[in-house]
Amino acid sequence: MLARCACQDVSSQLQFRPQQPGEHSEKEAESETDALDLDEGITRELAVPMEHLKARYSIQFLRILEIVLRRSQLDDRSGGLLLNVIAAPTITGGMNTTPRVQQVVENPNASYVLQVEGIDVSRSHPKIDWSRHLPPDVILERREHDKVLDLSFKFLTMWTFRIIPSLFLRDMYRALSVPRSKEPPRTPHYSPMLHNAILSLSLAFSDEPYLRDPKTRLCFATAAKSLHELHAYTKADLSTVQAMAFLGSFYSDFGERIPAELYFGMSNRLGMTLGLGLDATPWAEAGLIEIDEIKWRNWSYWTLFCLDALWALYFGWDLGGPSRRSSPMPFVDSDMDQVPWYYAPANIPPQPNYLTLAFFETSALFLISRQISELVNNLRPSTQQNAAQVEAQIAKIDLELNKWKRQLSPQLDITLENRASSTPQRLMLHLTYWWCSLTLHRPLFNSPAQRIQHSNPEVDHIKLCLDAAENILELVETWSSLYTLRLAVLTIQGVVFSAGTVFLLCALQATAGPRIEHDKLQAMLAQVQTCISYLHEMGNTWPSAMRTGNMLQAILNDRLRPVITRRLAHRGVQIFAGATLDRAIPAAPAMPQGHETDLPAEAVPSYVPGWDLQLDTARDWPEPPFGSFFENAPAAFGLGVQAFPTLMVPELTFPELDASGFLMPNFDYFRSPELWQQELAETSARA
């Protein structure tokens, strides 16, 4: 073709000189014609200007591209087809590729059977080499291993649909039933790396202290990473994407921010490389992937989407994972949803699990949460945003949240009648809804109720935040009564912490007026203590929950307590002075308890156990402005009121704290005397 090329480019098509007589025989011409039919087609496709390329290619072009790549030996080591925005990692044909599944499966319906209570051991393939890829130096019995996996499927992996139990157990059997001497098949839902990664996180549910121990769990994470380094680059699949995400969760629980970020980041990028979120229908029609894999890839994409949106809410940073693209919403599998969900200790009859339906609604909710994150996480004092515009944005997103709630299917709704039989997936769905509502309205907690154009007469952000926080505690109490918080999802700690911040703000508000609202103050402080108690109970499973509870306790004691104590004492001084003909007489240090706070003596210690609200009022701290708590609040609260100069809130008086680290190991940063005592020092200097 190059020999015949006249080197002219007319409308992006090559022009060929006429063939000279006698150049080729008829036989050569026939064979050349066949080749040119194919080669010219390839050339025409590849010569199209890049701006005209589309993400959706015809089946014929996919086949042509495959031929081109094979001819040019451009196949990657996994045998995958990776070109521009097209990625079909499951295409086989590379020289070093192991088949994804065995061509002939002796029993395609066979599955690994968990040895849990009520299961006949003889039916559970007792001779299967279940621990083949697990760390050999960890003592783990099969019954305990299976029990932990069962609890994980019921209470952990169901959230954001990280594992499909039936497919995981099916592929686990296929991979582990092969003799060690033979190469195991590649399966999309099970891999040795994924097996170890799940256990590194799920062993937190074990009743055995040895298995819950961080050092033991680290052995499984290390094994997963070793298998990743050995196989992931040449055998990357859907299971690799999920395994990396599990490792990210493992490290985040132990406060290891950098490896957590790395593994979550690798999970997201690998998902993009594998083409998750793109329409895989042409690949299935071309026979390049299985028909069922369209659904599996769709679920995997939305899992990554939800995890990214979750982290944006959780840590308060910008979104960095998969975008919405044009991927259809998650498939709802009615047959899968009818599989009974049952946990005997809860004394709840078996009921349909509705896992895929819950995942569909979770994904729809996280689409809204992305808007919340983009709005709230980008509120900065330097932006000089107009408060009315932000109010309008919040009102618009609030309408979307309410619409989502109204349209929720009855199978997933929680009412007074069915609350006592709520499955974990339903509870998590509603916890996330209230978390989104709280996060949306909390930035304007300190702003007066305003009327927004084309909306309800008033938007009371304080009331909406308090409603969300109270609903969160009610749902967590339901979880605790049904399943105990030993089996709580890792995410719940962030939800409870957010609720605790609202109760802290309400407690502060109760002391801001001319007269202390004692009943409200006591109720709000009691709710903060409830949040701390829940976090510490979850801390028996998740180390990060214990740290989060300790941080909330420290904020209560070290940050809120001095402010409330000063205000209570300050009110008492003013009352005393007014009773002495406006002659200000400092209160004596030995003044009876209760006088300086305008409270009965027996009521003072009842706010928070261990608090000593007696104060040396001779120091007579001046009353700090109500906004001072907001201006100095940790950015972890997600409080954005400082971003609105039109709301008359003072600007930050010290550098903004790192919002991305509030659940990470550097908790001393938030408890440092330099930060917590700054207001005391400033008010002392003014005095």
Please answer whether residues 85 and 55 qualify as being in contact, where contact means their C-beta atoms are separated by less than 8 angstroms: yes
Residue 179 has φ and ψ, to the nearest 5°, of -55, 150
Please answer whether residues 504 and 556 qualify as being in contact, where contact means their C-beta atoms are separated by less than 8 angstroms: yes
Query: Measuring CA to CA, which residue among 281, 404, 435, 302 is closest to residue 359?
Result: 302
Average pLDDT of the segment spanning 600-625: 44
Q: Which H helix or E strand runs over 87?
A: strand 86-88
pLDDT at 672 over 50: no
The radius of gyration computed from the CA coordinates of the chain, to the nearest angstrom, equals: 31
pLDDT at 99 over 70: no
Q: For the chain, what's the residue count?
A: 687
Query: Measuring CA to CA, which residue among 350, 306, 340 is closest to residue 161?
Result: 306
Please answer whether residues 659 and 636 qualify as being in contact, where contact means their C-beta atoms are separated by less than 8 angstroms: yes
pLDDT at 627 over 70: no
pLDDT at 591: 34
Average pLDDT of the segment spanning 193-198: 96
pLDDT at 472: 98
666 vs 22: which has the higher pLDDT = 22
List, as one string, the DSSP characters of 554-594.
Answer: HIIIIIIHHHHHHHHHHHHHHHHHHTTTT---PPPTTPPTT
Q: Which H helix or E strand runs over 86?
A: strand 86-88
How far apart (Å, rounded) are the C-alpha atoms in residues 459 and 450? 6
pLDDT > 90 in the chain, percent:
48
Helix (H, G, I), strand (E, B) or coil at 8: strand
Average pLDDT of the segment spanning 290-315: 92
- DSSP code of residue 646: G
Helix (H, G, I), strand (E, B) or coil at 351: strand
How far apart (Å, rounded) are the C-alpha atoms in residues 71 and 686? 80
Average pLDDT of the segment spanning 505-514: 88
How far apart (Å, rounded) are the C-alpha atoms in residues 502 and 530? 13
pLDDT at 35: 55
pLDDT at 438 over 60: yes
pLDDT at 460: 87
How far apart (Å, rounded) are the C-alpha atoms in residues 209 and 236? 34
Q: Which ranges of 443-517 would DSSP assign to H, the alpha helix?
A: 461-483, 492-510
How far apart (Å, rounded) are the C-alpha atoms in residues 651 and 636? 17
Please answer whether residues 654 and 602 qualify as being in contact, where contact means their C-beta atoms are separated by less than 8 angstroms: no
Chain position carrying tokens 């040396």: 616
pLDDT at 634: 31
Tell me the per-residue pLDDT of 331-383, one tens digit each, with 9 for 90 and over.
999 999 999 999 999 999 999 999 999 999 999 999 999 999 988 887 765 55
Average pLDDT of the segment spanning 417-432: 97
pLDDT at 408: 97
Tell me the per-residue pLDDT of 43-64, one tens digit each, with 9 for 90 and over.
555 554 433 444 344 444 545 4
Q: Which H helix or E strand runs over 7?
A: strand 5-10
pLDDT at 313: 87
